A and B are shown apart, each in its own frame.
Chain A
């Protein structure tokens, strides 16, 4: 069974993940500047510059984007609070989702066919200028019984 995660994000490297996640993407010479548009939980569009390979959770943290509760487990694939939703066309162009991420997505509230976890998603050229949705506000995904 293939574990497709980058080694530094594998949850069983438990004690080091949170520290490593704070590292920035290695600057490997001049890189093309890309952008993504986050549509936040209130429907507001926020465009941020980003380089290829940049991790989405790090990007959200770097720009102090105010998504409620985002990234609670610091990217160690243990909380699913970094839930993002992509466009179908973009989703299909990305590498297949790893088994570990799928396991966690299976626990995610309001998961869709094009959901990803931000801490496991890195910027690609296919995502350039595309929209990424932060699931709607906490009240909307909540149904008291």
Chain B
């Protein structure tokens, strides 16, 4: 086999779905129940790709298994709805597959239920034969440098949640009233943020970006976006498809310092194809700007984005009145070692970059495809456990014992049918505005619409 795609090893950093090890069944009973007699009730926590792919695998390979998918949001699909950029609708096509899974008579969606608050994991373990945790990766870490509390310093994750209609980020409404923005990190989420900031508004108007985000972006003064990385051009984490989109962004030009890219082509002769093609595209863009008409058009581009390498944030610099971000102090780094494992170490030099907005992003990332493999794998392990009699034997009540608990606690679960009503409403509202959908962002309104 040829070398693996880097998507594989880079992004599969941690399994997305985790099976809680069941309490061991007494030995003598292990073989008593064959898979055929047992109707396994399985609980999946989280309705993102990991949860749905796990459910899909279980339903497909076990003729009796029943799967309940618990989700804290009113609506399903996790980061496919709240993470994937609005101008990437094709990525969201996986929703069709998830919808098919949810339509199985042996699968139920239980939205608006937060596991750990509305129902405990141990209650779920009592009610189900197995509990699969696939609640994704939360991102509550802070940037960890002085000045990060200043208005204008934003978590990229919250910003993404805001333009994608995540209820808890609904009130973020950032002030884009400055001409230079800076993003810390050179991964695909950084490029998503940069692209959303720079894409001509008439293109965004045709996506499912929220109405509030459109309103704010329409008034945006941002003309230049720096995307800053600790390491060099050979270590960027974004992928070629996303880079190409940036390069082809209408009315924006790339600001790449040729000095950063000279001689790189010689260093990548032996690199795996993905790194090689990505670097070639960077080098080509930096060193051989398009000629003729196109170049003229780009030179007048009102907006620009650029990559800055070997810079690590030290401090956010306040405006004279202390009320906002005015810039950021970056440590100048150098590389020790080479290739993917090169380490950035400070040189002692610093650089101040003026900017009115700073985004940071720290979170394990992944792609939907790796999540799919994880989900299938979890399903497979679970089925194996069932077959070998490792899971608790004897009937389990499943949802019928959880339902009264939720009722007593005043929790109102949302079914997949309910979601489909909301879906229809969103699509109808979107149609009026020429968008694929207008996302509902207020959980209370959503619950009202479905008659809760």
A binding-site residues for B, Cβ under 8 Å:
11, 14-15, 17-18, 68-69, 72-74, 76-81, 100, 102-113, 138-139, 141-145
B277 touches A106 (CB 8 A): yes
Q: Please pick, from B5, B15, B91, B377, the residue contacting A79 in the complex, using a CB distance under 8 A.
A: B91
> What are 24 A-B contacts defined by CB distance under 8 Å?
A11-B90, A15-B436, A18-B96, A69-B53, A69-B376, A72-B93, A73-B90, A74-B93, A78-B90, A78-B91, A79-B369, A103-B240, A103-B244, A106-B5, A106-B274, A107-B239, A108-B7, A108-B8, A108-B369, A110-B4, A110-B5, A141-B8, A141-B373, A143-B9
Question: With contacts defined as CB atoms under 8 Å apart, how many contacts are there between chain A and chain B in the complex?
Answer: 109
A106 touches B278 (CB 8 A): yes
What CA separation (Å) do A144 and B378 show in the bound complex?
Answer: 12
User: What is the CB-to-nearest-CB distance from B90 to chain A, in angstroms, rounded to a whole number?
Assistant: 4
Give the chain B neighbours of A17 by CB distance below 8 A. Answer: 90
> In this assembly, does B289 line the interface, its C-beta being within 8 Å of a C-beta of chain A?
no
Q: Please pick, from A77, A103, A144, the residue contacting B15 in the complex, using a CB distance under 8 A.
A: A144
Interface size class on chain B is: 35 or more
B binding-site residues for A, Cβ under 8 Å:
1-2, 4-9, 12-15, 53, 57, 88-91, 93-94, 96-97, 239-241, 244, 273-274, 277-278, 367-370, 372-374, 376-377, 380, 436
B8 touches A139 (CB 8 A): no
What CA separation (Å) do A76 and B273 show in the bound complex?
Answer: 22
Give the chain A neighbours of B14 by CB distance below 8 A. Answer: 145
Given A15-B436, A72-B93, are A111 and B5 also a contact pair (CB < 8 Å)? Answer: yes
B274 touches A112 (CB 8 A): no
- Name the 5 nearest CB pairs between A and B, nearest first: A76-B90, A106-B274, A107-B7, A78-B90, A109-B8
Interface centre among B5, B97, B240 (most CB of A within 10 A): B5
A80 touches B369 (CB 8 A): yes
User: What is the CB-to-nearest-CB distance from B74 to chain A, in angstroms, rounded to a whole number?
Assistant: 24
